[in-house]
Every structure is written in structure tokens, then in C-alpha cells.
A and B are shown apart, each in its own frame.
Chain A
């Protein structure tokens, strides 16, 4: 994001109240995530400690600090889904998307993006649809009673054409 563009965004928020959240949300919408250098620039510009912005950015699940793929596949890892086979779904998704997961983030979550930037695989806690467990979401669409066998047909609805590697 160009510093010029950041200035424009800041300029839209004349009042201090809700300013930070508003600006961060704006950046997130425009870029799909909150890039580190933009956060650093914003902190300087608003004369706020960077730690404050980072704290907000990691508190709200709406924000992400990493670039996401064009499609985001979120597997529910809540208790019900876990019991009903969410780990098998994750294994199958990893296989079909060709992403490796040897690293989890500090809070036990994972965020994996394919090399071509098309898909991001991530997890979340209970979607509130336990009766349909295991559940996953691709972008805004929820799928219930998912089995590993159904993964390819689900991915195909989002432009997937077989293994990427």
C-alpha cells in the first residue's frame, strides 16, 4: 500500500473514537490482510506504539496478518467436528491442495497458502453448526457432513482442477 493511499484512508476518519479500528478494517478490506510495513507506517503516522496496533490486530479474528489466498478454506476444529473427523478433512485438504503443515502458529492454529496464491487452508473453533459436524467453510459457503471423499468435488466448485503439483 502506498503511503499516499494510507493518508487517504486516515483522512476519512476525522474523530479519534473508533479511528484505529476503522482504519485497520479499511486496510484489511482493501488488501485482504494487514501488512507489517503498513502497520509500522500507521503507527508512526498516528504516533501510537506499534505494540498497540499489533495487539488490536491479533485480538480480533476479523484481522489477519498474512496475505490470504483467493479462496479461504476453513475447517472447524471445534469439539464436535474434531470427534467427527475434522483431522481427516485437514489431511485430505492438505493432500489435494499440496500444502504442507509442519508448523502451527503459537495458538495452535494453522494458515497455509498454496504457492499460486489461490487457496488458503486454515482452522477455526466451533462454527455453531455442530449438528452437521464435521463442517468446513469455503469463502462464505458452509458445507456439512463432509467426508474426505467429498473434498475434491467441493474444491471444484471453487475453480480447483486437480492436484497443483
Chain B
């Protein structure tokens, strides 16, 4: 364990931990758009800038890529940091004029308008909300192991979508992308019997029906791929049940188990 100082507060940390994570654990909220604990540091959005006062390379740096060392002393809201953050938020207001979360954060810093030209794309699949933070791309590829989407093009025309803007056959419809998106840009709709990934070129993924109650509950390929990773007994017990029926089944088994009855699979 080492000690670091964040906004004057002494915090315990493991050597090499990411500063942003240490700060959050200690109740210090550094804004961020592109950081996700489960993913490798990326440093794309610049929202998490902090000022290193002592220890390490002094100056302004991104806290989501900064590994802590003994004696590190940083400020997360120094006048310079606030100035930069406001400028960034103005840029983000122009890039993603329809995003509520950007507007909310900007308002928190007193930024309510932008000097830059607002980017509005007609029929934008990402609803004029995408800031190209790359979280969706990385979670899909690095956590789900799929890689259905990626950056397309470059410069001011960069966008995120499926290759060739075609329905994607590798997409499992898990929705992890929408889950991590900081701006609510990704639209998904369940229209039985499919899940429609509206932002991803209308990719359709079949939904699975619960074997017990018959409800549609989750995308088939996602359920199947997840089940594949479980051991056989659990897999047999949980296969094709919606969360409600799954819970009932688990309880039933727990009761059977505690009363010493051998475990019959339903």
C-alpha cells in the first residue's frame, strides 16, 4: 500500500493503480466519458484531466491513464483544470448536441452554450449524440469478444457502425454497447421475435422464448454463447428460462437440496 494525495485528501492505494479509480473509491468524482474499469486505459475523451502538483511528471494529464506512485499529489478541480474542462464541454456540446448527459455535465460547470458549430447529421444512427469515445467498440471487441462495430472513416466524418453499414451477423444483441455509452447514443428496440440494433444498421437478432412461461427474454446467440461457458449441470438447469422462471427454478432446487432430496432436473 502507498499513499497519494488527491485534492488535499490522503488516500491509500496499490502502487500502479489507476488514479481515477483511486479517486472514485475515495468519493472524489472526476468526470469521464471513455473510462471503464474492465477495459485497458484509453485516454480519448480528456474529461478526466487532473493537475499533478508533486510526484510523477508535473503538469496536466489524464487520470484514467495515470498510474499512482508514492507521494503523488494531484488536484482535480484547479482553476486550470476547470478552464480546460469547460472548453472541452463546449466542444462536446457541438459534437453531440442531442445528448442529455453532455448537457447535464456542461451545466454543472456553468457551460450552457457553445461557440462552435453544432454538428447535426440528418438521420444519424447515433442520434447526434456520439462523441467517439470508443467505449462501445472496445467493450464489444475486448469484453464480449465480438467486434461487430468499429470506427469508420476519419477526421470530422468519423463515425461508429457495422462494416459496410450492413446488418452484422456477429452481433449477439447483448446490448453491452448501449450499457457503456456515456451519451445514450445507441438505440435498441425489442420487436418480437427480434431485437433490433437500430444504431447498428438495423441488425436483427432473434430473441429467445422462455421454456417455462413463453415470454421473449433475451437475444438467442447471447444466451447460447453465455451458456456455453457454464458447467453442464448449471447449464441444464438454467437453459432457456427467463430471469423470473430461472429464479423460481433456482429456489426450487435450493429447497430440494436442503431437504436432502436428490436433485432432479426439471
Contacts and interface: CB of A to CB of B under 8 A. Distances in A.
Contacts, number: 44
20 contacts: A36-B164, A39-B163, A48-B147, A49-B146, A49-B148, A49-B150, A49-B170, A51-B137, A51-B149, A51-B163, A51-B168, A52-B147, A54-B152, A55-B152, A58-B152, A58-B153, A59-B151, A59-B153, A59-B154, A107-B153
Interface residues of A, number: 15
Contacts of A55: 150-152, 163
Contact of A51 (B148, B154, B157, B159): B148
Interface string A40-55: 0000000011111111
B147 A51 contact: yes
B64 to A, nearest CB: 23
Contact of B157 (A36, A50, A54, A106): A106
Nearest to A55: B150
Interface in A55-70: 55, 58-59
A162 interface: no
Interface of B: 137, 141, 146-154, 157, 159, 162-164, 168, 170
3 tightest CB-CB pairs across the interface, nearest first? A49-B147, A54-B163, A107-B157
Contacts of A54: 150, 152, 163-164
Nearest to A59: B154
A85 to B, nearest CB: 24
A98 B154 CA distance: 31
Contacts of B153: 58-59, 106-107
Interface of A: 36, 39, 48-55, 58-59, 106-108
Given A49-B146, A51-B163, A53-B163, 18 more contacts: A36-B164, A49-B148, A49-B170, A50-B170, A51-B148, A51-B149, A51-B150, A51-B162, A54-B163, A55-B151, A55-B163, A58-B152, A58-B154, A59-B151, A59-B153, A59-B154, A106-B159, A108-B157
B123 to A, nearest CB: 11
Contacts of B163: 39, 50-51, 53-55
A12 to B, nearest CB: 25
B188 to A, nearest CB: 18
B163 to A, nearest CB: 4
Contacts of A59: 151, 153-154
A58 B155 CA distance: 11
A51 B163 CA distance: 5
Contacts of B154: 58-59
Contacts of A108: 157
Contacts of A36: 164
